[in-house]
Amino acid sequence: MRRQRLVILFCFVVALFLQSAAQAQLSEEYADWAEGPEAWLLTKKEKKEWEKISTDAQAERFIELFWARRNPEPNASFNSFKAEWESKVRFADENFGYANHRGALSDRGRVLLLLGRPEGRDLRGGDQVPSPAGATDADAAVGRTDIWVYEAANLPKEFKAKGGRLLFVFYEERTDSNNFALDRSNRESFKGMSSLARAPEVYLLHPNLTEVPKPISVAGASPASAAHLAWLEGGAAPFDDIVIVMSELGVKDDVSRPLWLHFELPPDAPPLDLIVGRVTDSGGEVVSNFEMPAAPLEGQYGSVYHLSFSLEEGSYTVDFVGAAKDAPQVNQSFEAEVSAVPEDGTWMSPLWLGLSATPNREAKLGDAFTIGGWHLMPISGPELQRSSEIAYFGFVVRPALNEEGAVKLRAKVQLTRDGKPLGRPLIMPLDSSHMFGDLHMFGNSIGLTALPEAGPYDFEFEVTETVSETTSARALAIQITE
C-alpha cells in the first residue's frame, strides 16, 4: 500500500514538473494569464488544455479562441462580452483591491465578474457586524460586512438559480483593510456558490468552436465574395449623387456602441436586393467585409436601408454598395469614429429624432435605430408636414436615483423662428424603462399641428437626468409645409 502511494505521489510530482516546465517557456505576457481574472471563466476542460500550452503562439491562439467561444456574435469584430468583462475587471481592481492583492481576484471581484453588479447591497460598519455562522464571541468579525443580493429570476436561466434571491455575505478581515472574505458557511451561501460554479459553462456559448471565425462586422451578414467586393472598386453608380447617407453611434448595452447606418434612395430607384461592404481601420487594414440581403423600409423620401456594425473603439472607413439584380445602384464611402460608453458616472446617449417609431418586439438591442422595442425612422430631410409628429428617443446609463430610488428625467422642447423663441419652452417629466443592468431607455413625441403657420422653424430638444443633471440635447431645423 505504501509503495502504491509513493508511485501515485511520484506521478503527481512528474506531472506538476512537466506542467511547470511547459509554462516556463512562455513569455511574461502569457505565463500568468490563467492566474488572472480569466481563471474565473475557465472550464475544467480548458484548464487542462492550457496546462499543455508551451509556446507564445499556442497561448495567443488559445486566448483568441477562449474569447471567441464567449462572444455572443462570434463573427463580429467587436466582442461585447469581453468588453463588459474588462470593464468589470477595472472596476473590481479599483474598488476591491487590498495590500498587493488585485481586486478582480478577491471574493467580491469574483462575484462581480460572474454575476454582475448586485441588485441590492448593504455595507455595514464594524460596530454593526454579526459574527459568521459557527463563530464564537471571541472570533467575532472586527471589520465591516458587505451584503450583496441578486434576484434569481433576473439571472440567465442557465444558472438554474432557484428561489427568490441569492445572498452573498462578505466579512472584512480587519477594519478598513478592504480585505473581504465570502462567508461560505451559512445555508444562504450554498445557492450563490452553486451559481458561481456554473458560470464557466454558462458563459461558454460556443463550446464546439475550434477556429476563431473571421469577423463580419454586420450581424446576419456573410463574408463577401470576390466578385461582389470588386463592385467597391467599380466607380460611380447611378444614384450616388442623390442618395442620403447618415451614420450614428448607437447603443447595444451599458458598455458597447455599434455604428448605425441609414441610407435612403429616391422612389424611382429600383429596390435593392444585396448590400456589400468593407470596413477598414485607420491603418488601412481591412477589419471585415460582408454581404447580406437588402431589406427595404419606407422612409421620408423613398426606400431606406438600415445596417448595424459591431466594431471596437477606433477610426474606420466604411465602403458599401447596394445592388439590384447584380447591378450596383449606389457606391458610397464614409468615415466613422467609434467610442465606448464611459466607464463611470451617469451617461446619456445622443437624442435620436424620427418621424415615426414602429413597435418591433423581436428586434435586438444594437439593431440599427432600435431603442428598446421601438424601431425609429430618422428624419432625413427638412420638409415636414404640419400633421407630422417628431419622436425622440435615447438611453441613459447608470442614472442617479432620487430619494425614492427612482430614475427621474425631464424633457424640454424649445421652438424658435427667425432666432426668436415662440413662447416658453415646453417642460415635462419623462418616463424611462429599465432594460437590464445599468441601461435605461426613454422616448416621447411632439405634434406639429399647433404651429401657427407653414415656414421655417428651429427645435431644441433636451433631456436631463434630474439628480445628476446629466443632459443630452439635439437641434433640428425644419420647413413646415401644409
Mean pLDDT of the chain: 89
Cβ-Cβ contacts under 8 Å for 324 (sequence gap 6 or more): 270, 271, 272, 273, 274
pLDDT of res. 219: 79
**Residue 408 grid cell:** 427621474
pLDDT of res. 16: 39
Confidence bin at 470 (pLDDT 50/70/90): very high
**Residue 41 grid cell:** 471563466
pLDDT of res. 197: 94
Half-sphere exposure for 93 (CA within 13 Å, toward CB): 10
Q: Which of 158-167, 239-248, 314-323 has the lowest mean pLDDT?
A: 158-167
pLDDT of res. 25: 80
In this prediction, residues 379-403 reach a mean pLDDT of 93
In this prediction, residues 372-395 reach a mean pLDDT of 93
Position 212 pLDDT exceeds 90: no
In this prediction, residues 269-296 reach a mean pLDDT of 95
Alpha carbon distances (Å) from 470 to 79, 357, 359, 395, 405: 28, 25, 28, 12, 17
In this prediction, residues 126-141 reach a mean pLDDT of 48
Position 314 pLDDT exceeds 60: yes
Position 128 pLDDT exceeds 80: no
Nearest 10 degrees: Cα torsion 83, 85, 88, 90? -70
In this prediction, residues 211-234 reach a mean pLDDT of 89
pLDDT of res. 236: 94
68 contacts 74 by C-beta, under 8 angstroms: yes
pLDDT of res. 17: 39
Position 207 pLDDT exceeds 90: yes
Q: pLDDT of 319-346, one tens digit each?
A: 999 999 999 999 999 999 999 999 889 9
Position 246 pLDDT exceeds 90: yes
In this prediction, residues 177-202 reach a mean pLDDT of 91
Q: What is the CA radius of gyration of the chain?
A: 27
In this prediction, residues 438-454 reach a mean pLDDT of 91
Position 15 pLDDT exceeds 80: no
- The pTM assigned to this predicted structure is 0.72
Q: pLDDT of 299-313, one tens digit each?
A: 999 999 999 999 989
Position 12 pLDDT exceeds 80: no
Q: When comparing pLDDT for 38 and 174, which is higher?
A: 38
Position 130 pLDDT exceeds 60: no
Position 166 pLDDT exceeds 70: yes
Phi, then psi, of 244 in degrees rounded to 5: -100, 120
